Homo-oligomer: A and B are copies of this chain.
Amino acid sequence: MLRSFWQKYNQRYSTLGSRVCIGLDSQLDKLPKAVKSSKNPILEFNRSIIDATHSYAGAYKPNLAFYLADGMRGLEALAETIAYIPDDIPVILDCKVGDIGSTMQGYVKAFFNELKADAITINPLMGKDVVSPLLEIEGSFGFALALTSNPGADDFFHNAKMKLEVPRWMQQYPVERIGAVVGATQVQDLKLMRELMSGRLFLIPGIGAQGGDLRAVLDNAVHSPEDPRILINSSRGIIFASVDDDFAHKAGEAAKELFEQSRA
């Protein structure tokens, strides 16, 4: 029986109460020595990380770029990683795709049917054509970039006011199918995003390496105490907490810490 991302996310949240999304940005040249000699280092690394962190994970988010950078072996690592993640934890593939309809059909086939992701991230710049093919995949989910927290966010999200335009555009889509990537740098932006997107699930990157403040996120982006509708992503802060032989143990500790700090 097919479960939708939305069901899986809600089930996981009601069971574990975790708001933690663990970003599997498993960049080959940053991996610990302990896995470097293995046949598929990224896969070996991810398995250890998943073993050590799954008890705290509300979701996992592998990032396509770091897998493609390792060629065929990397794509294999991505497929095997998704297959290895326990079935009750939703998998969000971070790929930020956005193209015309026929091309999007290729991407959603690749990501949902071949790789078996539960959700993907999408770039809304090309408009409704980006979303339509995704909605045709039963149970699928897309997180559209609504506001990012990188330095370049000034160029269009802030200066060209895309941070107002994208949330308004998103209103045509049900919250059960389309969520929002919301960068976590400024308190007033978090408040604004929640006002503009009541009820929508936020995927919030930028905690840790990108400098976002967890407390500000919890105070301003949560939808309601019972139904928070936020996933707080941490990538390097968890998976590269240590690059020594104890890397998996340290990743588990970092995941546990974020799990506890981000609970209600």
Contact between chains at A129 and B114 (CB < 8 Å): no
Bound-complex Cα distance A125 to B98 (A) = 11
Contact between chains at B155 and A107 (CB < 8 Å): no
Contacts of A96 in B (CB 8 A): 97-99, 123
The answer to whether A104 has its CB under 8 Å from any CB of chain B is yes
Contact between chains at A150 and B123 (CB < 8 Å): no
Size of interface on A: residues with Cβ below 8 Å to B: 56
Contact between chains at A156 and B151 (CB < 8 Å): no
Contacts of A126 in B (CB 8 A): 145, 148, 150, 152-153, 155-156
Name A residues whose Cβ lies closer than 8 Å to a Cβ of B.
25, 27, 63, 65-66, 68-69, 71-72, 74-76, 79, 94, 96-107, 109-111, 114, 123-130, 145, 148, 150-157, 159-162, 165-166, 169, 210
Contact between chains at B69 and A114 (CB < 8 Å): yes
Contact between chains at B152 and A128 (CB < 8 Å): yes
**Taking A110-B68, A162-B160 as contacts, is the C-beta distance between A151 and B123 under 8 angstroms?**
no
Contacts of A25 in B (CB 8 A): 102-103
Contacts of A123 in B (CB 8 A): 96, 98, 123, 125
Bound-complex Cα distance A17 to B27 (A) = 42
Indicate which residue in B65, B114, B129 contacts A150 across the interface (CB closer than 8 Å): B129
Q: Could you show 29 A-B contacts with beta carbons less than 8 Å apart?
A: A25-B103, A65-B103, A65-B104, A65-B107, A66-B103, A68-B106, A68-B107, A68-B110, A69-B106, A69-B107, A69-B110, A71-B75, A72-B79, A96-B98, A96-B99, A124-B155, A124-B156, A125-B156, A125-B162, A126-B148, A126-B150, A126-B155, A127-B156, A127-B157, A128-B151, A128-B155, A156-B169, A160-B161, A160-B162
Closest-CB distance, A128 to chain B (whole angstroms): 4
Contact between chains at B160 and A165 (CB < 8 Å): yes
Indicate which residue in B124, B127, B152 contacts A129 across the interface (CB closer than 8 Å): B152
Closest-CB distance, A179 to chain B (whole angstroms): 17
Contacts of A148 in B (CB 8 A): 100, 126
Contact between chains at B69 and A101 (CB < 8 Å): no
Contacts of A109 in B (CB 8 A): 69
Q: A65-B107, A129-B151 are in contact. List 17 more A-B contacts (CB 8 A).
A: A68-B107, A71-B79, A72-B72, A72-B76, A100-B210, A123-B123, A124-B155, A124-B156, A125-B162, A127-B151, A127-B156, A127-B157, A128-B151, A128-B152, A155-B169, A156-B166, A160-B160
